[in-house]
Structure 1
Amino acid sequence: MERRQLEYFMAVVEHGGFTTAARAMHVAQPSLSHAIRALERELGGSLFHRLPQGSALTSAGEALVGPARQVLRDLSTARSLVREVLGLSGGRLDIVSQTTLAVDPLALMLGRFHRAHPKVGVHVVDPEHSRDVVRMVESGECELGLVDEAVALSDLSSHELPEQEMYVILPPDHPHPQTDTDTDTDAVTLSELAGMDLVVTPRGTATRDILEDVCAGAGTMPRIVVETAHRAMIAPLVLAGVGASLLPASMASDAALRGARMLSTRPRLLRRGHVVWRSGPLSPAAQAFVDIAVGQQSRP
């Protein structure tokens, strides 16, 4: 079994067919097909159902996806380690992150990472659900993940990130909900938040889970007026007067600059994230990123 065969196999898996995979790998389709057939002969069975429109994995092919992905990841890590020893630079870092953690703190962390390692390319994946972060790291699709503390981490190694405060954003003309006399700043009680019309993300996302917990604590069901997976819509929907929403500080601040009202909650809603990775040696790029995450914890 050769590395190139596994690369071709994964290309067909990811692109859904031999023609598109060959195009993506910049090889002739007969060469790619020959390599896959040689791999199938070596393994003793078909890996793909050849269909008129593309291809589909057989059960044997499905069993190979995880190991093939991890072998390719390990080879990439080995190559990077050798390059590091030889003083070379470059490579790629794959990170999967929940959206709110990607905005903050991932963006700032990647800024520091890029300044220290400008030749390393970074690919950030945005999963639909929180649990997908853990799955993609466990399967080797991404080497690192950023996930909310509420998500079970299985057997992954992790580092806890600094806590984030969540803020309520309201339409500009929304009635003033409450003034915190201790700090003289706008604030919303959790019971008030539970009674508002809400713009929410789908079930399984971190902010949706927080809002459902708030409503459950108040003994009520969320009054959802819009549910959207398009997080870029949230601030415009709030500004249009559709309802209130809950966002981390950086995203709430951006909404406030556009005219939304940004209010704290009483008590404060806090969340923590984790950087997660598979046990074992990391690529130099991933290790450098983890070192930045650990160092961030001690920053003033």
Structure 2
Amino acid sequence: MRFDIPPLDRVDIRLLKVFKAVTECGGFAAAEETLNLSRSTISIHISDLETRFGIKLCTRGPAGFSLTQEGVVVYEATLRLFTELNSFRTTVAGAKGTLMGELSVWQMDNIATDPLNPVILAFQRFRSRPNSVEIAVNVVPSNDVERAVYDGRCNLGITGSRSDLTDLLYEQLHTESISMFCGRAHPLFEAARFDLTDEQLADVDFIRRGFVTQKQEMVETDWNSSVSSMHTEATLQLILTGLHIGYLPDHYAAAWEERGLLRKINPERFHVDWPVFLVTRKGDRQSVLLNTLRKDVLDASAALKQSV
């Protein structure tokens, strides 16, 4: 689909930034805080952009906010435009020996307690160089990380999800030790000191992990399951109710284990070393800025693995 639009100028770039924020926030009201603009001002900006392009970009009303078909095209083109603009700034700054531009890093939740998490050390290394890079960090479910990298909403992702999306580069950083847990209020808590039989486990209510496919799930497919979770913290809370059992990273569960609130179930059987990946777009490999941070993450990961 093609649109005849006038040459872009600084005003258009500013309006497109507003449009991008509104789209990613899911509406005008939700974008107010992000943009630090009133809803009426945001509405005027979107209307100006629609007039400028001669198309309707979105609908808003009682049914909520949504992009039109043309709006989806413009949003995707906007992502590509900002990526190229950032790449231009980065390339020019790199010629002067300076790191400059913007980087967006998305990661799966609750990896701060992972002793092999490379983010902290990588950021320290990255910031040790002279630079004026603006870094935005976001925490989302694992599968949303790789989708955001694929869509161009972020430059680099750290995730336990691998869907092998086209044009994505997956580089394994380390493995995360994951085990099955029940809470102290669960009927099986005391029995979990020993290996539980299949008969004892027959009536459990398992927490499905909404960010993995059924074939990736590490349990019998006939287990009962009335709940699902997209986040590690949500899974923990569901386990602590005593109504459900589910998988948690060992490093994250350790604090609750030490307090006697969690217990592993058949750790020899229900345990896996889950791979954690660094994800980037193959087409972004020419970016000096992105490759600098990418290498810092890989080097930090290697150093941490050697230290344990």
Same fold (TM over 0.5): yes
Question: 2:273 corresponds to which letter in structure 1?
Answer: L
- Give 2:179's aligned residue: 167
Question: 2:275 corresponds to which letter in structure 1?
Answer: R
Question: 1:266 corresponds to which letter in structure 2?
Answer: R
**Contact 2:60–2:66 (8 Å) recurs in 1:** yes
- Aligned mates of 1:36, 1:204 — CA distance in 2: 34
Q: Give the one of 110, 113, 117 matched to 2:122.
A: 113
Structure 1: where are the runs of 5+ without partners? 179-187
- Aligned mates of 2:84, 2:291 — CA distance in 1: 14
**Contact 1:168–1:252 (8 Å) recurs in 2:** no
Instruction: Please report how far the alpha carbon of residue 89 of structure 1 lies from its aligned counterpart in structure 2 after TM superposition.
Output: 5.3
- 1:257 matched to 2:258? The reply is yes
- Give 1:4's aligned residue: 14
Instruction: Please report how far the alpha carbon of residue 228 of structure 1 lies from its aligned counterpart in structure 2 after TM superposition.
Output: 4.1
- 1:47 matched to 2:57? The reply is yes
- Give 1:181's aligned residue: none
Instruction: Please report how far the alpha carbon of residue 86 of structure 1 lies from its aligned counterpart in structure 2 after TM superposition.
Output: 3.5
Secondary structure of 1:271's counterpart equals strand
Q: Give the one of 53, 74, 78 matched to 1:68.
A: 78
Question: 1:95 corresponds to which letter in structure 2?
Answer: V
- 1:275 matched to 2:282? The reply is no
1:44-72 deviation line (CA, Å, top 9, x unaligned): 43324475998653321121111111211
How many residues align? The count is: 282
Q: 1:142 to 1:201 in 2, by over 3 A?
A: farther
- Aligned mates of 1:149, 1:30 — CA distance in 2: 40
Secondary structure of 1:111's counterpart equals helix
Q: 1:11 to 1:149 in 2, by over 3 A?
A: closer
Secondary structure of 1:251's counterpart equals helix
Instruction: Please report how far the alpha carbon of residue 11 of structure 1 lies from its aligned counterpart in structure 2 after TM superposition.
Output: 3.3
What TM-score does the superposition give when structure 1 sets the normalisation length? 0.72
- 1:231 matched to 2:232? The reply is yes
- Aligned mates of 1:226, 1:174 — CA distance in 2: 23
- Give 1:126's aligned residue: 140
Q: 1:84 to 1:250 in 2, by over 3 A?
A: farther
Identity value in percent? 23
Q: 1:146 to 1:236 in 2, by over 3 A?
A: same
- Aligned mates of 1:53, 1:237 — CA distance in 2: 32
- Greater CA drift, 261-270 or 154-163: 261-270
- 1:151 matched to 2:163? The reply is yes
Question: 1:8 corresponds to which letter in structure 2?
Answer: V
Instruction: Please report how far the alpha carbon of residue 238 of structure 1 lies from its aligned counterpart in structure 2 after TM superposition.
Output: 3.6
- Greater CA drift, 31-40 or 43-52: 31-40
1:241-297 deviation line (CA, Å, top 9, x unaligned): 334322122113233123122463237522213211112235555323321333224
What TM-score does the superposition give when structure 2 sets the normalisation length? 0.71
- Give 1:185's aligned residue: none
1:162-214 deviation line (CA, Å, top 9, x unaligned): 22222222335421454xxxxxxxxx5896896472451443447x765x442
Instruction: Please report how far the alpha carbon of residue 29 of structure 1 lies from its aligned counterpart in structure 2 after TM superposition.
Output: 8.3
Instruction: Please report how far the alpha carbon of residue 39 of structure 1 lies from its aligned counterpart in structure 2 after TM superposition.
Output: 4.6
- Aligned mates of 1:18, 1:237 — CA distance in 2: 33
Q: Give the one of 154, 167, 170 matched to 1:142.
A: 154
Structure 2: where are the runs of 5+ without partners? 1-7
Secondary structure of 1:45's counterpart equals coil
- Aligned mates of 1:34, 1:235 — CA distance in 2: 44
- Aligned mates of 2:177, 2:197 — CA distance in 1: 14
- Aligned mates of 1:193, 1:111 — CA distance in 2: 42
